[in-house]
Amino acid sequence: MLKITMFSAADSVKGQGVGSVYMELVRLLKTRESDQISLQINQYGRSDISHYHTVNFPFYLSTFMPGRGRKIGFVHFLPETLEGSLKLPKIAKAIFYRYVIAFYKRMDQLVVVNPSFIPKLEAYGISKDKITYIPNFVSAEMFHPASDDQKMTLREQYHYPKKFTILGSGQVQVRKGVFDFIELAKRHPEMQFIWTGGFSFGRITDGYEKLKQVVDNPPANLSFPGIIDRDKLVDYYNMADLFLLPSYNELFPMSVLEAFSTHTPVLLRDLDLYHAIIKGDYAAAKDVDEMDQIISDLSSDPMALTALKQKAKQAADYYSEERLAKIWLQFYTEQARRG
């Protein structure tokens, strides 16, 4: 039996995708591979594999300890993907960015959730042979579609009107395109807009002051319910007619997979990094004006919305738990042999 230790502090900050990825993987291994894998969390006993999900300094120091086995690093972000997320002094930012790359270079193998990040890691001097692509996934048991009647019941339960409803999800920050989401809500007072998520990192969030003003005093048709527990988050996807994520930069957002899993049609900013993983599964817009046009078209064309819903279902089938469980077990087994 493989002995694997997960190192993570991702669940210490609510409302961030890194924590969702970590919790999903731990749950997957415990429920589907418990006969193959012995799993422990943040323990320093001897392991075949040490899998690092976050770059905390004590974890970095642990990589120099004996008995760590094969060291696996999960690349949830690169320095450039943090731009527009956190507001740090220039010196602190430079030091942190160098530290992140040093952490990655301490690993025997890195896992990326998007193949578009492989050449970017190579540019930092990390060999392509040390990088493996494994996509994210979500629990189909937790994120599942609801019937039309159930959707209406949920809207009544959460006190939302019977309007075309658009959901966004993620940390409230500039990088996520929240200002465009707000602008679209202003352009469409006849629709309901909801953004789940909050300021996970408080005042150091980029654009905090301006965003906080809108969150505290939103337009009448825009709701910010805050950070929602994952067992309730499924209700928000099922209340939505359309999921919209106008982010400027991502890796492989869990929110998109959650939307797919509930068979909710998806509209995204047309980023190159999506092309390698979910091209064809969503509607794409280059800017807020194109988003505006697509929203107007979809809200008045049930057939187009149904076709997009079918694409979401197909994507959910592809990124299934069963398939990813096999991929992770094979990966860990091969890594242990190399250790």
Which pLDDT tens digit goes with each residue over 223-260?
Answer: 999 999 988 999 999 999 999 999 998 878 889 999 99
Give domain status of residue 274, yes or no: yes
pLDDT at site 212: 87
**Which DSSP letter does residue 204 get?**
G
Q: Give the domain extent around 98.
A: 2-137+320-338
Higher pLDDT residue, 291 or 197? 291
pTM score above 0.85: no
| Beta pairing partners, 134 | none
User: Which pairs count as long-range contacts for 208-213, CB under 8 Å and 24+ apart, including other chains?
Assistant: 208/87, 210/179, 211/172, 211/173, 211/174, 211/178, 211/179
Domains held by the chain: number: 2
Judge if 71 and 6 occupy the same domain: yes
Judge if 300 and 325 occupy the same domain: no
Give domain status of residue 142, yes or no: no
Judge if 315 and 330 occupy the same domain: no
Assess contact for 6 and 42: CB atoms under 8 A.
yes
Q: How far, in Å, CA of 288 to CA of 122, rounded?
A: 33
Assess contact for 316 and 282: CB atoms under 8 A.
no
Judge if 216 and 325 occupy the same domain: no
Assess contact for 109 and 133: CB atoms under 8 A.
no
CATH number of the domain enclosing 248: 3.40.50.2000
Q: Tens of pLDDT along 123-169?
A: 999 999 999 999 988 888 899 999 999 999 999 999 999 999 999 99
217: pLDDT strictly greater than 70: yes
